[in-house]
A and B are shown apart, each in its own frame.
Chain A
Amino acid sequence: MKVELESRIVEGPEVVGVEPALDLQGKALPAVQPGAYSRTVTLMPRAELERRMVKGPDGVEFEVEPLRDYYCEAGPTVMPAAYLKIVEDLFNWARSRSIWILGFGTGCGAIEMRPLMTPRFDAYRFGIQWRPTPRQANLFVISGYLSVKTLKRAIRCYEQMQNPKYVVGLGSCTINGGMYWDSYNTIKRLDDYLPVDVYIAGCMPRPEALLQGFEDLKKLIRAGKAEGANQYAERFDWYKANQKQIIHDWDMPDYNW
């Protein structure tokens, strides 16, 4: 992947053919002059991603291009299920009984997960627990609205999780934008960017609804239908195109495992 280092003039809003904006009293606001807010934006990649010379411990200098040399460019692959059906069934049973959630609260809905650890709801008895690192987690709960900035981190985390992995969209915001449906910075359809297994509707859904959602996810896993990771690998290009369409400063490798 190449990071483009360029400087360009960004035009102000286009005003041709657009109705004049109205203020609260219905009065027409002064039209905006084209180019009034023009400013020069320099898209600078992060310093640690720039090509640079590195001196090794043996004194030899060599050039490093971090994105190419420090990361692997291979994309995800479809991982087949176990050869024997009975083994796969056993694995699916274990997966459904041992759901490790990534402790990454992406939005306000994360507050509804805390009660699940308390004596009142106690999700641990269903084999659900929280892990602090994506490497060990199987379930990624997108808890509520996802801004573009968080989406970038969410994608990185999702790609670091290991193959049978599941995504639960929590709250209306993940389904159709919810109350952020006209926001300038939040996505409205989570399943365009990550393969979602279960949606839990509500704003916010109560902890009981969450437990019900996790039970539904368990049924999917037991039936072997929760193959989001393989789906992601199969339609990788489509997901990447969607992601890159809205993440403009893509300064990371395409697949961050």
Chain B
Amino acid sequence: MPFDWMKIPYALLTLFIVFNFGMLLNALIQKIGARVGRRYGVPIWQNYADLIKNYGLRSSITHGVMYYLGPVFRLTGGVGLLLFVPTIYGSEMFSNLSFAGDLILALYFVFFGTLGMALGAGESGHPNAAIGITRGLSQVTAAELPFALAVFSVALQYQTFSITDIVAVQQAGFTSWTLFTNPLAVAAAMLSFLGSMMRPPFDVVLAPQEIPIGPPTEYHSSYLALMQTNRAIFPIAKIVLYMSLFFGGAASWPVFFLKVFAIYMVSVLVGVAFPRFRVEQSIRWFLIWAVPLGVLSIVLV
């Protein structure tokens, strides 16, 4: 297959749109959370100010190579996930680098950033970071399990590992979405989604009041800014994956924005309504409620 060089600027354009959308969406979500608490909330461009400030800090300290690579891996996870999933179905410009076996790769990228973070935070030498990453990895692993089961269920259902093909089957109309054809898998995946969006009730790993903010304890300046960039890209990339697998994908940008916002809101609504779980509670919750759903969905397919 000849490589189409035009894909690179297209991919960068996707990245640019998704990054800005993510920055604004994150601020909007923060604002919604604040309004629930009867606060006015942050300005919509607050994340840009934070990002520029962190890039603009004059000094930074490194603790070693892995410490530096941690945020880089994390960003790679986000960007990679985004680029290997067709952002807009049927568009030559925004299908990016998706190919036949991309579902497996996407699963890997979902986990990649956390692993990179584990190495980086471990090298920072701060005990809180090490404790935080242990808690984070246990929780993310428990949360990823139902998602992986759901993905295999979907792959079995459509007999393919190509996300583009999966989206193509769902284009016939509402009723052909995986949401309706395989509701159990979607349910398992959505429970896992709550766990991996780093919002309450499963954000105990990153919550500022907990073991001071866990893995990123030692991260600052540009390192933190890289992670903030990823915070804008990664949730969107993850939602794009969900949207493609379960909710019929998006054929144009307006539909994309709408669907991403709606899926994000699921975790927000749950988050503002429920208090935080402790790590062992959330692991137990995933294993008791989400994993059986995933297993059941595979069995039924």
* A contact set with B: CB distance below 8 Å: 79-82, 90-91, 93-95, 97-98, 103, 118-119, 122, 124-125, 127, 130-133, 135-136, 138, 162-164, 229, 257
Which one of A94, A103, A162 lies within 8 Å of B52 (CB-CB)?
A94
Q: Tell me whether B53 and A94 are in contact (CB under 8 A).
A: yes
Q: How far is the CA of A98 from the CA of B48 in the complex (A)?
A: 9
16 contacts between A and B (CB under 8 A): A93-B52, A94-B53, A97-B46, A98-B53, A119-B38, A122-B39, A122-B41, A124-B41, A124-B42, A125-B39, A127-B46, A132-B208, A133-B217, A136-B216, A162-B60, A163-B59
**Besides the known contacts A127-B49, A257-B61, 10 further A-B residue pairs in the complex with CB atoms under 8 A apart:** A98-B50, A125-B40, A127-B43, A127-B46, A127-B50, A130-B208, A132-B208, A132-B213, A133-B213, A162-B220
Q: Tell me whether A135 and B220 are in contact (CB under 8 A).
A: yes
User: B109 at the A/B interface (Cβ < 8 Å)?
Assistant: no
Q: Tell me whether B42 and A79 are in contact (CB under 8 A).
A: no
Q: How far is the CA of A130 from the CA of B34 in the complex (A)?
A: 15
Task: Return B51 CB to nearest CB of chain A, in Å.
Answer: 8
Q: Tell me whether A91 and B52 are in contact (CB under 8 A).
A: yes
User: B221 at the A/B interface (Cβ < 8 Å)?
Assistant: yes
- The 8 A-B residue pairs with the shortest CB-CB distance, nearest first, are A91-B56, A94-B52, A132-B212, A163-B58, A79-B58, A97-B49, A163-B59, A135-B220
Which one of A94, A122, A125 lies within 8 Å of B56 (CB-CB)?
A94
Q: How far is the CA of A90 from the CA of B56 in the complex (A)?
A: 9
For B195-233 the 0/1 string (1 means CB < 8 A from A) is: 000000000000011001100111111001000000000
Q: How far is the CA of A122 from the CA of B30 in the complex (A)?
A: 13
Q: Which residues of B contact A132 (CB under 8 A)?
A: 208-209, 212-213, 217
Q: Tell me whether A135 and B218 are in contact (CB under 8 A).
A: yes
Q: Tell me whether A119 and B56 are in contact (CB under 8 A).
A: no
User: B254 at the A/B interface (Cβ < 8 Å)?
Assistant: no
User: B300 at the A/B interface (Cβ < 8 Å)?
Assistant: no
Task: Return A215 CB to nearest CB of chain B, in Å.
Answer: 15
Q: How far is the CA of A19 from the CA of B86 in the complex (A)?
A: 88
Q: Which residues of B contact A257 (CB under 8 A)?
A: 61
Q: Which residues of A contact B213 (CB under 8 A)?
A: 131-133
A97-B49, A135-B219 known; A79-B59 Cβ under 8 A: yes
Q: Tell me whether B46 and A98 are in contact (CB under 8 A).
A: yes
A122: nearest chain-B partner, CB-CB: B39
A79-B58, A91-B52, A127-B43 known; A119-B37 Cβ under 8 A: yes
Q: Which residues of A contact B37 (CB under 8 A)?
A: 119
Task: Return A87 CB to nearest CB of chain B, in Å.
Answer: 8
User: B169 at the A/B interface (Cβ < 8 Å)?
Assistant: no
Q: Of residues 5 to 52 in B, which have CB atoms within 8 Å of A's CB atoms?
A: 34, 37-43, 46, 48-52
User: B266 at the A/B interface (Cβ < 8 Å)?
Assistant: no
A117: nearest chain-B partner, CB-CB: B39
Q: Which residues of B contact A138 (CB under 8 A)?
A: 53
User: B57 at the A/B interface (Cβ < 8 Å)?
Assistant: yes
Most buried by A among B48, B49, B58, B224: B58
Q: Which residues of A contact B49 (CB under 8 A)?
A: 93-94, 97-98, 127
Q: How far is the CA of A257 from the CA of B60 in the complex (A)?
A: 10
Q: How far is the CA of A229 from the CA of B59 in the complex (A)?
A: 10
Most buried by B among A93, A133, A164: A133
Q: How far is the CA of A124 from the CA of B50 in the complex (A)?
A: 12
B208: nearest chain-A partner, CB-CB: A132
Task: Return B290 CB to nearest CB of chain A, in Å.
Answer: 30
Q: Tell me whether A162 and B57 are in contact (CB under 8 A).
A: yes
Q: Which residues of A contact B40 (CB under 8 A)?
A: 119, 122, 124-125
Q: Which residues of B contact A81 (CB under 8 A)?
A: 58
Q: How far is the CA of A163 from the CA of B34 in the complex (A)?
A: 31
Task: Return B170 CB to nearest CB of chain A, in Å.
Answer: 40
A98-B49, A124-B41, A125-B43 known; A162-B221 Cβ under 8 A: yes
Task: Return A34 CB to nearest CB of chain B, in Å.
Answer: 48
For B135-164 the 0/1 string (1 means CB < 8 A from A) is: 000000000000000000000000000000
Q: Which residues of B contact A122 (CB under 8 A)?
A: 34, 39-41
Q: How far is the CA of A229 from the CA of B58 in the complex (A)?
A: 10
Q: Which residues of B contact A131 (CB under 8 A)?
A: 208, 213
A94-B53, A132-B213, A135-B220 known; A127-B59 Cβ under 8 A: no
Q: Which residues of A contact B219 (CB under 8 A)?
A: 135-136
Task: Return A177 CB to nearest CB of chain B, in Å.
Answer: 31
A131-B208, A136-B224 known; A124-B52 Cβ under 8 A: no
Q: Which residues of A contact B212 (CB under 8 A)?
A: 132-133
Q: Of residues 39 to 96 in B, which have CB atoms within 8 Å of A's CB atoms?
A: 39-43, 46, 48-53, 56-61
A98-B50, A124-B34, A127-B49 known; A136-B220 Cβ under 8 A: yes
Q: How far is the CA of A97 from the CA of B37 in the complex (A)?
A: 22
Q: How far is the CA of A163 from the CA of B209 in the complex (A)?
A: 25
Q: How far is the CA of A43 from the CA of B51 in the complex (A)?
A: 47
Q: Which residues of A contact B220 (CB under 8 A)?
A: 135-136, 162
Q: Which residues of B contact A103 (CB under 8 A)?
A: 208
